[in-house]
Structure 1
Amino acid sequence: MSEFHEAIGRLAAAQKSSIGAPAYSRFVNRPLGRILAAGAYTIGLSPTQVTLISAAATGLGIVAIASIDPTWWSALLVSLLLVLGYALDSADGQVARLTGTGSLAGEWLDHFFDATKQATLHAAVLVSWFRFFDLAELWLLVPIVFGAVASVFFFGVVGADFLRRINRLQRPGTAAQPAAGQTSTLYSLAVVPADYGLLCIVFLALWVQPLFVALYAALAAINLALLAASAVRWYGSIRRAEAEGAA
């Protein structure tokens, strides 16, 4: 048990920057991931093993969305699996920091499963709505649009970060990683609709069809607006970084 508490203490002092992090990810998922990471470290799991367990939990949740007629217990099951998968998605990187075994291959694997999740979760909602919900066909466009928005959003975040890293590497004397920092609590709350963790919680309402449809459609619309605003911000930040590198 002392090893577990030691790992918790080490992780608390070595957290990632919170810049741009939405509220659920920042205040719930990372602390939960820290506990899971300490547990995984204590029993000897590698970062890759934690990533694979995360992918399995999320995958089971997605399969349950598409295959089970929504009831209170299936909605709870789906939400718990998605929340667990997301927390383990945070834990794998924290295990890597504890063990000093972070790698490009591990980062690629993490992003690979993240991209798979974005591509399949909303497709599962589409299947569920088609099979189990009494909706007009036009409503089926909502998960299609949300899936496209989620995939493009993921590319925008990862692509912008990748290009900024390359830009820093090309500038002599500049660190490959950005300086640590924090985003204000107000900003974290403002962007919480774009937080995957919030979507995991919304699946608790899956068995109450009108409520889930309303919440899911609202999140889809808000995420579409946030994507448009974020795209402008990402493009501007990359242009500024490029200009600074050329100066």
Structure 2
Amino acid sequence: MLKNTGDYRWALAELAQRQKTSKGAPAYSRYINRPMGRRLAAMAYKMGLTPNQVTGISALCTFSAIAIIVLLRPTWWQGILVAGLLVLGYALDSADGQLARLQNSGSAAGEWLDHVVDAIKTAMLHLAVLVSFYRFTDLDERWYAVAICFQIVATVQFFAMILTDQLRRLNQGTRTHFLKGEGRSSALYSLAVVPTDFGLMCLVLGLMFLQPVFLALYLLLLVANVGFIILALRKWYREVRSFG
């Protein structure tokens, strides 16, 4: 039974004790997105929202940003709008799970909805960049291949990460995500894997109007993500194989 219903400060303090483990979390997610999500979750709790409603608001922000990338020519104000909506959507994506833990209302249906929204986002984001390249630039067509490769890498990474997490929980006999204190990664590791963080991509996509800067960062992130997925797939396969 929840106490102090509607109290923002109580909810914020309670959420601080119910955070997911930092193990494997990149720096943006660990130090920026989760604290933002915690505050949004406390606000949603005070407003009486459900986790699924927060997921819906997150999806609205994220898909609006993707539509703007496709429909509007990159400009400084378009970049601010895209980055702002993506950052807010990502923070709300963290908030829905935190709110569910606070309300003790987590469910298989809620997790399913959250993952489906994430899957749609993952399947669309770099295709939107590809369409923007085609509509609004005269870039060499090899840059189209960069966006397509990024789309493939992002999709494989998302699916493999979610599947590994599900199998890991099944093997350890738990239906919930591991909480704070149940394993952690060093700050150095979090910084090392920050190129794989969706939060960083949110900020980089806001720079599409600065084409040379964006292209350089976009290509570097692709190379980093390819390197990460090659190493991660090997590690995850060995881990899953040990389950028997």
For normalisation by structure 2, the TM-score amounts to 0.94
Q: Which of 192, 195, 216 is equivalent to 1:193?
A: 195
Mapped to 2, the partners of 1:235 and 1:152 lie a distance apart of 14
- The 1:165–1:62 alpha-carbon spacing in structure 2 relative to 1, beyond 3 Å, is same
Structure 2 unmatched ranges of 5 or more: none
RMSD: 1.4
Letter in 1 for 2:225: N
8 Å contact 1:202–1:216 — kept in the other structure?
yes
1:127-142, aligned counterparts within 5 Å? 127-142=131-146
Q: How far off is 1:176 after superposition?
A: 5.2
Mapped to 1, the partners of 2:19 and 2:170 lie a distance apart of 23
Q: How far off is 1:193 after superposition?
A: 0.3
Letter in 2 for 1:138: R
Q: Corresponding residue for 1:245?
A: none
Letter in 1 for 2:62: T
Q: Corresponding residue for 2:101?
A: 97
Any idea what the Cα deviations from partners look like across 1:93-142, whole Å, max 9, x if unmatched? 01101111100000000000001001000000000011112211111001
Letter in 1 for 2:232: S
Mapped to 2, the partners of 1:128 and 1:100 lie a distance apart of 42
Q: How far off is 1:168 after superposition?
A: 2.5
Q: Which of 10, 35, 41 is equivalent to 1:37?
A: 41
1:188-227, aligned counterparts within 5 Å? 188-227=190-229
8 Å contact 1:133–1:209 — kept in the other structure?
no
Work out whether 1:237 is the aligned partner of 2:233.
no
Q: Corresponding residue for 2:85?
A: 81
Letter in 2 for 1:183: S
- Point out the more displaced range, 208-217 or 117-126: 208-217
* Count of matched residue pairs: 237
Q: How far off is 1:164 after superposition?
A: 1.8
Q: Corresponding residue for 2:169?
A: 165
Work out whether 1:118 is the aligned partner of 2:122.
yes
Percent identity reads 52
Any idea what the Cα deviations from partners look like across 1:46-66, whole Å, max 9, x if unmatched? 000000000010000000011
Structure 1 unmatched ranges of 5 or more: 170-174, 243-247
Mapped to 2, the partners of 1:66 and 1:213 lie a distance apart of 17
- The 1:131–1:176 alpha-carbon spacing in structure 2 relative to 1, beyond 3 Å, is closer
